[in-house]
A and B are shown apart, each in its own frame.
Chain A
Amino acid sequence: MTLLKHREVLLALAIGLLVWLVAIRFPAFLQPSSLVNVFNDTSPLILLAIGQMIVILTKCIDLSVAANLALCGMVAALLNGSGVPLPLILALAIALGVLLGAVNGLLVWKLEIPSIVVTLGTMTIYRGTIFLMTDGAWVNAHQMSSDFKALPRAVILGLPVMSWVAVAAIIVFTVLLTRTPLGRAFYAVGGNPHAAVYTGMNVGHTQCLAFMISGGLAGLTGYLWVARYAVAYVDIADGFELSVVAACVIGGVAIAGGAGSIAGAVLGALFLGVINNALPVVGISPFWQMAISGSAIVVAVAFNAAQSRTPGRIILKPQEAAR
């Protein structure tokens, strides 16, 4: 019973149920290769959801992640075109992502501009910058080196590298959030900013670090995305930021900050991923995707609110109050 109170468990059960329902009619969906495929497809969403979850923990929101991803992906593709070695490309993509995240973070920290305004602005600026760099031209598969394209698809122990990156991120950030002072600071800053100041934390600085993490993950995902789909252009991952926020909300991350877990965000992403992959299998038009994830967000936020209703003040003695 207490296990069911954890929303991660509930969500995992919901995902299991979903997979099972699909599998009743289409047993092939349950094959390992198919499940690996679902996970792999969902990996970019998982990576960004982890970053977004940390930002939301600190009472902020990062709407610029998808634009950040697209810009870093384009830069990676262009660097590849000019012959930069792959490891350096990876490092630069992540560094650029961190830098773009830091721009958001500094505006939030130093100028105290609400994060929603900052990231609404930077999302158009980052995406516009891609156009300025390329004049709207695409970088196509034949313009990319083969090792650049091969890395995310390379299979190690049955899983593609892209999936391994997601797995690694899940582990690294679970450790970061649960086992380091910084990780606990993210929770404290979002959960009770006043008390956090009394325990010696700098709220703005912590928020800035959250944006840098989110940015770095977006940069990394930018390379993976462009390499896997072997194409880079202005509009890749357009609107993806909403799926990322949706994954977090479905995963029980409180939009008011201070509550949530990596497991929740990952499961939220997987929930959306399973739906997206199952729809074509069961023969429902993929055009249903958007409405389903929209409904899922609304249901999840209503569910979160119902769970976190705080009881009123108790003045009467318990035995009296019971009457």
Chain B
Amino acid sequence: MHPVLSLRGISKSFPGVKALQGVQLDLYAGQVTALIGENGAGKSTIVKVLTGIYQPEEGTIDIDGTPTRFATAQAAARAGVTAIHQETVLFDELSVAENIWLGHAPRTRLGLIDRRAMRDGAKRLLDSIGATLDPDLRLGDLGIASKHLVAIARALSTDARVVILDEPTAALSHKEIHELYELVETLKAQGKAILFISHKFDEVFRIADRYTVFRDGQFVGEGAMADATEDKLVQMMVGRSVDQIFPPRSHNIGDPVLTVAAYSHPTEFADINFTLHKGEILGFYGLVGAGRSEVMQALFGITTPSRGAVRIDGQVRVIRSTHEAIAAGIVYVPEDRGRQGAIRGLPIFQNVTLPSLARTGRSGFLRLAEEFHLSRDYTQRLDLRASSLDQELGLLSGGNQQKVVIAKWLATKPRVIILDEPTKGIDIGSKAAVHEFMAELAAEGLAVIMVSSEIPEVLGMSDRVIVMREGRIIDEVTGVRMTPETLVRAAAGIAEAA
């Protein structure tokens, strides 16, 4: 049997990062291939290559054995590849039927959109996937699960041959996930080649026929699901790559600094309890959407929890804004660096001193010499590479931007620093610098929280690991239990191996 779609030797790099290095992937008609790998393994990059958003530097894409190029997103769509993303990109203000047919709507003889044909077609497509949605509903009024169904129906309306389901269950309830499984069966029966991307092992075992594993942008292996075991897949996924060496840690853990008790939010998390000590690095592990960042953003005053108490050095602190969080000594290096961390249009030194202006300045007036002094201190400690401190931040690489964001917070002399996916999307060199620096900070007595989805990083850097799932703390892992298997199983909700 020949694959419908076959990728060979695909490489794609970004400044400082090799996102994909000669990977291969085959998709077969009527079969579900699961793509498995940790965050940063290159899964989202390969999806973007398949949908024409990225052009690889090397490698071939064959469809039915014919070499093809996806120069644009439209070219990929015309070739019959369609992707359903985590956050489906559709149009809230248009109806279900319109979303399905936008761009290729059936027409009447007058050239107008044939609304009846459109509605009937939408109904037929939705029925074919077992969805009982009214095609006239406004998309914005639907939940995320129904939006997925609409996206899938849209994919079918274009006669897609390859359907990519990228973390489709991330935001779904149990019942909805069950319905999705049935839908995947329907798609298989229609002969579509399906690429299924998921972190959750139970799902993969349930619906995939084949698997392909990536790690650190490289192809690790593939095979039939029937021959796979959970242990084997976990091994392939997390097998430690040789070039990642973590700095030595001092493990001088002192008194409690931050105590969080019965911390709850109406929709995002519930009953969060933990204590963070001086000199400690506390890892937070979990799947994407487990509620880790949400807890941290509440601690940083971005959102307001409904209940619970935060104590710093035993004193209850009420944090209603980022300003109050910083005053309490809690700072946060966000995951979404482009939107929340870096102010790209401002020079490096102004980014660094922004929260510290009260200290570098005098009664509201700026003192540039002090600002340069402070920025120089901290950027040097982080080994920042830049041509000058008044260079625009946006001109630096991602890794160097991240160093500036971290420097910004250290300059405030915090008690607690929260790093949310601190090395996501940055190059190996900067990664090592960030790790080394975290170890230094802890050694100096700072209390560090690190939210990370990269298992080697979590295990390599943390003293303890808290695992979250569906907005709750599921497990706290210490000592000998700190293994990749324990974390993966706890986060995915699989029982421990015997």
The 10 A-B pairs at the shortest CB distance, nearest first, are namely: A195-B89, A315-B471, A179-B112, A316-B471, A199-B103, A315-B291, A314-B267, A321-B267, A259-B93, A191-B91
**Given the complex of chains A and B, what is the CA–CA distance between A318 and B102 in angstroms?**
32
Q: Identify whether the interface residues of B are mostly helix, strand, loop, or mixed.
A: loop
A192 B103 Cβ-Cβ under 8 A: no
Supposing A180-B112, A201-B103 touch, asked if A313 and B91 sit within 8 A by C-beta, the answer is no
B268 touches A (CB below 8 Å):
yes
- The residue on A at minimum CB distance from B83 is A198
Partner of A184, one of B92, B98, B303: B98
Interface string of B94-114 (1 = CB under 8 A from A): 100010001101000001110
Supposing A187-B93, A195-B91, A199-B102 touch, asked if A180 and B268 sit within 8 A by C-beta, the answer is no
Supposing A191-B94, A200-B74 touch, asked if A315 and B103 sit within 8 A by C-beta, the answer is no
18 residue pairs from A and B, CB less than 8 Å apart? A179-B115, A180-B113, A184-B94, A187-B91, A188-B91, A192-B89, A192-B90, A195-B89, A195-B91, A199-B102, A200-B77, A258-B92, A259-B93, A312-B268, A313-B267, A314-B171, A315-B291, A316-B268
Give chain B residues whose Cβ lies under 8 Å from the Cβ of A318.
Answer: 173
Smallest CB–CB gap between A1 and chain B, Å?
Answer: 14
How many positions in chain A have a CB within 8 Å of any CB in the partner chain?
A: 30
B485 touches A (CB below 8 Å):
no
A317 touches B (CB below 8 Å):
yes
Give chain A residues whose Cβ lies under 8 Å from the Cβ of B187.
Answer: none
Give chain B residues whose Cβ lies under 8 Å from the Cβ of A195.
Answer: 89-91
- The residue on B at minimum CB distance from A188 is B91
Partner of B294, one of A181, A200, A313: A313
A194 touches B (CB below 8 Å):
yes
**Given the complex of chains A and B, what is the CA–CA distance between A194 and B102 in angstroms?**
14
A298 touches B (CB below 8 Å):
no
A312 B303 Cβ-Cβ under 8 A: yes
B113 A258 Cβ-Cβ under 8 A: no
B23 touches A (CB below 8 Å):
no
B328 touches A (CB below 8 Å):
no
B103 A181 Cβ-Cβ under 8 A: yes
- The residue on A at minimum CB distance from B89 is A195
Interface string of A292-323 (1 = CB under 8 A from B): 00000000000000000001111111101100
Number of A-B residue pairs having CB atoms within 8 Å of each other in the complex: 85
**Given the complex of chains A and B, what is the CA–CA distance between A201 and B94 in angstroms?**
16
A197 touches B (CB below 8 Å):
yes
B270 touches A (CB below 8 Å):
yes
B378 touches A (CB below 8 Å):
no
Supposing A199-B102, A200-B74, A315-B294 touch, asked if A187 and B94 sit within 8 A by C-beta, the answer is yes
A175 touches B (CB below 8 Å):
yes
Interface string of B15-31 (1 = CB under 8 A from A): 00000000000000000
Partner of B268, one of A191, A198, A259, A313: A313
Give chain A residues whose Cβ lies under 8 Å from the Cβ of B105.
Answer: 181, 184
Give chain A residues whose Cβ lies under 8 Å from the Cβ of B267.
Answer: 311-316, 321
A197 B291 Cβ-Cβ under 8 A: no
A258 B103 Cβ-Cβ under 8 A: no
Give chain A residues whose Cβ lies under 8 Å from the Cβ of B89.
Answer: 192, 194-195, 198
Give chain A residues whose Cβ lies under 8 Å from the Cβ of B472.
Answer: 316
A258 B93 Cβ-Cβ under 8 A: yes
Interface centre among B93, B94, B289, B471 (most CB of A within 10 A): B93
Smallest CB–CB gap between B324 and chain A, Å?
Answer: 20
Give chain A residues whose Cβ lies under 8 Å from the Cβ of B92.
Answer: 191-192, 258
A320 B91 Cβ-Cβ under 8 A: no
Give chain B residues whose Cβ lies under 8 Å from the Cβ of A201.
Answer: 103
Give chain A residues whose Cβ lies under 8 Å from the Cβ of B113.
Answer: 178-181, 184
A317 B173 Cβ-Cβ under 8 A: yes
How many positions in chain B have a CB within 8 Å of any CB in the partner chain?
A: 32
CB-contacts of A90-108 with B (<8 A)? none
Give chain B residues whose Cβ lies under 8 Å from the Cβ of A179.
Answer: 112-113, 115
Smallest CB–CB gap between A275 and chain B, Å?
Answer: 29
B269 touches A (CB below 8 Å):
yes
B470 A191 Cβ-Cβ under 8 A: no
Give chain A residues whose Cβ lies under 8 Å from the Cβ of B291.
Answer: 315-316
- The residue on B at minimum CB distance from A176 is B112
Give chain B residues whose Cβ lies under 8 Å from the Cβ of A192.
Answer: 89-92
Smallest CB–CB gap between A11 and chain B, Å?
Answer: 18
Give chain B residues whose Cβ lies under 8 Å from the Cβ of A197.
Answer: 73
**Given the complex of chains A and B, what is the CA–CA distance between A175 and B112 in angstroms?**
8
Smallest CB–CB gap between A117 and chain B, Å?
Answer: 19
Interface string of A182-213 (1 = CB under 8 A from B): 00100110011011111111000000000000
Interface string of A243-260 (1 = CB under 8 A from B): 000000000000000110
CB-contacts of B275-311 with A (<8 A)? 289-291, 294, 303
CB-contacts of A135-194 with B (<8 A)? 175, 178-181, 184, 187-188, 191-192, 194
Interface centre among B74, B102, B291 (most CB of A within 10 A): B102
Give chain A residues whose Cβ lies under 8 Å from the Cβ of B303.
Answer: 312
**Given the complex of chains A and B, what is the CA–CA distance between A2 and B445 in angstroms?**
58
Smallest CB–CB gap between B26 and chain A, Å?
Answer: 25
B266 touches A (CB below 8 Å):
yes
**Given the complex of chains A and B, what is the CA–CA distance between A180 and B89 in angstroms?**
22
Give chain B residues whose Cβ lies under 8 Å from the Cβ of A191.
Answer: 91-94
Smallest CB–CB gap between A321 and chain B, Å?
Answer: 5
B470 A317 Cβ-Cβ under 8 A: yes
Supposing A198-B73, A200-B74, A200-B103 touch, asked if A316 and B93 sit within 8 A by C-beta, the answer is no
A316 B102 Cβ-Cβ under 8 A: no
**Given the complex of chains A and B, what is the CA–CA distance between A198 and B70 in angstroms?**
13
Smallest CB–CB gap between B182 and chain A, Å?
Answer: 21
A315 B269 Cβ-Cβ under 8 A: yes
B269 A184 Cβ-Cβ under 8 A: no
Smallest CB–CB gap between B50 and chain A, Å?
Answer: 13
Give chain B residues whose Cβ lies under 8 Å from the Cβ of A188.
Answer: 91, 94, 102
Give chain B residues whose Cβ lies under 8 Å from the Cβ of A198.
Answer: 73-74, 77, 89
**Given the complex of chains A and B, what is the CA–CA distance between A313 and B269 in angstroms?**
10
Interface centre among A187, A258, A315, A317 (most CB of B within 10 A): A315
Smallest CB–CB gap between B96 and chain A, Å?
Answer: 13
Smallest CB–CB gap between B439 and chain A, Å?
Answer: 31
CB-contacts of A37-64 with B (<8 A)? none
Interface string of A103-136 (1 = CB under 8 A from B): 0000000000000000000000000000000000
- The residue on A at minimum CB distance from B113 is A179
Give chain B residues whose Cβ lies under 8 Å from the Cβ of A258.
Answer: 91-93
